[in-house]
């Protein structure tokens, strides 16, 4: 073989070897990206501010914004963003609690809306990753190894810590069916109860001087202006625990999804108690099925009582909310609404749009959003008359005295409601059931269901409740 042939053969071997090495390198990078925690830099939605113009910066999980962020232009509708500019905003840390199975679906809407107007916030989760330029904080890291290895709820957590998001399985997303014991068929929800106590230390460490800590979830909508006005009427130097009351057995606590507020002294009491009762509190969490209940028990043990905050802290969605409702010697109508719960990302965007329009049109006067305002602007335009394929969520079943098994027609159901002076709406189901209500809800689509509202009575009820010359607060 000639020297030139040897040279060509040698060059070919080097080229082949180089190709093999390059291919191996690509395989390694792909393998490494799959086993490492996912870092999400771009999301499938239009952010209001671009990354180049964003004024939010990441500081170990706490995000601080400046005034420039209040005037960014929307890429979708070019409308000006109006954020409240009130004394005290800098003293509040908003804590958004989420989890790996829902974060990518729900957190972007929060970053694009509520959290845009939040000077200081932290996103706590069961998985550390970057979403929209914000790093989440894994608050389960300081749960004991014994608990992580012995409790079935941590199977999801352990797999994701080892393998990243690719370790998630379809069954990890589970069912959203909410029973009286929560979403027991949802592994992400089951794991969530372990975050409530650890997140107290995690966020206190990041913002130790905050006067108020406001805890919301990824499906909670927060009205900033109303929150500021509310907490300004409370003393942050005292141990305070504000939230929508609920109960499991004899334990009354603030419902997590409705949002709750803790003052700095209350936070420190929980933190100090946890340091000396770690094992005991982990065993308590094993026995309980709701983490907000565990936190409520601890607050009671350290002497911090709950301020029952219904209706301001609200567990309802807009479509199933009765703004005429009365409970606990309070009437919702003239109270400000601070939170809604179970809000889908689309509903978060819709509420944000209303919130922005409200702030824009009320610059010269009070911009407090009352339940009355929610009803007049968002519910009333959607109701009235008869609506087919719609369920307005009436609950009181109507019976025929002469024939208890009588199956009503839609017209008969309407006439029964019309014949009762306190009936404001009715629902007729295809099986002949007729339901009525003394409240008024917007409702939701449902095939073959017919709903109707007595709009003249609803208007009279609005006149009776009045225009709210005085704003009512839970104090």
Q: What is the CA radius of gyration of the chain?
A: 27
User: In this structure, are strands 307-308 and 134-135 parallel, antiparallel, or unpaired?
Assistant: unpaired
CATH of domain 57-308: 3.90.550
Neighbours of 268 (CB within 10 A): 16
Residues 345 and 354 sit within 8 Å (Cβ to Cβ): no
CATH number 1.10.540.10 given to 318-465: no
The token pair at 290 is 């709701």
Dihedral of alpha carbons 45, 47, 52, 57, sign: negative
| pLDDT of amino acid 10 | 42
Reported as a single tens digit per residue, the pLDDT across 51-105 is: 223 333 333 334 433 332 332 333 334 357 888 777 889 999 999 999 999 999 9
- Residue 394's Cβ-side half-sphere holds a number of Cα atoms within 13 Å equal to 27
Please list the ranges in the chain whose pLDDT falls under 50. Answer: 1-78
| pLDDT of amino acid 161 | 96
| pLDDT of amino acid 115 | 96
How far is 257 from 1, CA to CA, in rounded Å? 80
The DSSP letter of residue 259 is -
Of 353, 344, 348, 342, give the one whose Cα is nearest residue 317: 342
| pLDDT of amino acid 366 | 73
Q: What are phi and psi of 124, to 5 degrees?
A: -105, 145
Residues in a beta bridge with 308: 243
| pLDDT of amino acid 339 | 97
Residues in a beta bridge with 212: 92, 263
The token pair at 256 is 């997590």
């Amino acid at each position: 073989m000639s020297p030139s042939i040897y040279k060509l053969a040698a060059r070919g071997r080097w080229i082949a070897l180089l190709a093999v090495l390059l291919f191996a390198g690509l395989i390694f990078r792909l393998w490494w990206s799959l086993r490492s925690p996912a870092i999400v830099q771009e999301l499938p939605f239009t952010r209001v501010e671009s990354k180049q113009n964003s004024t939010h910066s990441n500081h170990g999980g706490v995000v601080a914004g400046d005034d420039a962020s209040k005037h960014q232009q929307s890429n979708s509708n070019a409308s000006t963003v109006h954020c409240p500019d009130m004394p005290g905003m800098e003293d509040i840390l908003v804590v958004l609690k989420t989890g790996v199975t829902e974060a990518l679906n729900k957190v972007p809407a929060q970053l694009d809306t509520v959290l845009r107007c939040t000077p200081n916030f932290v996103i706590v989760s069961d998985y550390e990753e970057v979403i929209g330029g914000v790093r989440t904080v894994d608050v389960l890291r300081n749960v004991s190894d014994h608990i992580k290895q012995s409790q079935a709820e941590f199977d999801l957590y352990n797999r994701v810590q080892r393998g990243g998001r690719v370790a998630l399985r379809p069954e990890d997303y589970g069912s959203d069916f909410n029973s009286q014991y929560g979403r027991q068929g949802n592994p992400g929800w089951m794991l969530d109860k372990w975050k409530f106590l650890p997140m107290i230390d995690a966020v206190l460490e990041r913002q130790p001087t905050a006067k108020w800590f406001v805890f919301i979830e990824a499906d909670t909508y927060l009205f900033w202006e109303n929150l500021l006005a509310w907490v300004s009427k409370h003393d942050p130097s005292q141990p305070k625990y504000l939230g929508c009351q609920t109960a499991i057995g004899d334990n009354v606590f603030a419902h997590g999804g409705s949002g709750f507020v803790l003052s700095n002294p209350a936070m420190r009491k929980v933190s100090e108690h946890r340091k000396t009762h770690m094992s005991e509190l982990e065993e308590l969490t094993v026995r309980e099925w709701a983490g907000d209940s565990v936190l409520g028990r601890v607050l009671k043990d350290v002497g911090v009582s709950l301020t029952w905050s219904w209706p301001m802290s609200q567990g309802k969605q807009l479509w199933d909310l009765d703004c005429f409702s009365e409970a606990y010697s309070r009437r919702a109508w003239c109270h400000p609404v601070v939170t809604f719960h179970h809000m889908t990302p689309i509903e978060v965007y819709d509420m944000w749009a209303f919130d922005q329009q409200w702030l824009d049109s009320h610059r010269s006067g009070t911009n407090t959003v009352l339940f009355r305002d929610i009803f007049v602007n968002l519910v009333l335009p959607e109701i009235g008359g008869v609506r087919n394929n719609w369920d307005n969520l009436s609950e009181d079943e109507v019976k025929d005295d002469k024939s208890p098994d009588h199956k009503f027609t839609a017209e008969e159901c309407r006439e029964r409601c019309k014949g009762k002076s306190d009936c404001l709406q009715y629902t007729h189901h295809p099986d002949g059931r007729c339901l009525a209500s003394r409240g008024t809800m917007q409702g939701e689509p449902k095939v073959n269901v017919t709903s109707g509202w007595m709009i003249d009575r609803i208007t009279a009820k609005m006149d009776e409740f009045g225009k709210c010359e005085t704003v009512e607060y839970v104090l």
